[in-house]
Amino acid sequence: MLHLANALLWFTAFLLSTTLHEAAHAWAAWRLGDPTGFLVGQASLNPAPHIRREPFGMVVVPLLSFFTSGWMLGWASTPYDPRWALRHRRRHALMSLAGPAANLLLVLLAGALLRTGLQFDLFGLPSQLSFSQLVTASGQWAGVARFCSILFSLNLLLLAFNLLPVPPLDGSSAITLLMTDRQAARYLSFIHQGPWMLLGLLLAWNLFDRISAPLFHSALGLLFAGFTLH
């Protein structure tokens, strides 16, 4: 029963995080001149249109990954006009950064809730930390403590992973802010070819495996600054 309850908390956090990430992309693109995602409902905070677009990445893979590894991974997507991206590469870069910015917002929100709970003795620090348990609590606060822990961990990992500068991740488009228009146009045309997308994902997983643990420990150092671990 506890495992199922934990799965429900993870899935709720995953849907919230992924939906906000994709909605931020669609909303930013719309505000910057490309209504493609907005017109098909991707700017919504309702997870339903995002699930309809990517049911495998939004439901099947997250649940399978949780029951095999204890945490969730998956994906979603928001359509945009590639011609708009080539014409307005700075706007495209800003649209790409909107998704990770949404994850950063959730990291800060979850972190603020965790620190507030610790400050008012609603939460305690566990003897052993995990993605699902950054703090402990009893009674009515136990579920809140676990959900905030999951929300913080998940969005920290989503933020870092999506900012890796390899296709098809958001960071690969964001780096065009450092390029000239001609360089950006060539680069965007190049990375949108199929083989580079697959190679980019393989490289991203390799890079992320190297940086995720140091990143997580550094983030926890900031989160728990001023508190004493048992």
Catalytic, out of 22, 34, 54, 170: 22
Q: How many whole angstroms from its chain centre is CA 120?
A: 29
**Count of other CB atoms within 10 angstroms of residue 29:** 28
Name 129's Cβ contacts closer than 8 Å, sequence gap at least 6.
220
> Could you tell me how many residues make up the chain?
230
Name 82's Cβ contacts closer than 8 Å, sequence gap at least 6.
188, 192
**Encoded amino acid at 220, one letter:** L
Question: 91 and 33 in contact (C-beta within 8 Å)?
Answer: yes
Is 22 designated active site?
yes
Which residues face 130 on adjacent strands? 133
Question: What is d(CA 67, CA 136) in angstroms, rounded to the nearest whole number?
Answer: 22
Question: What is d(CA 73, CA 99) in angstroms, rounded to the nearest whole number?
Answer: 16
Catalytic residues: 22
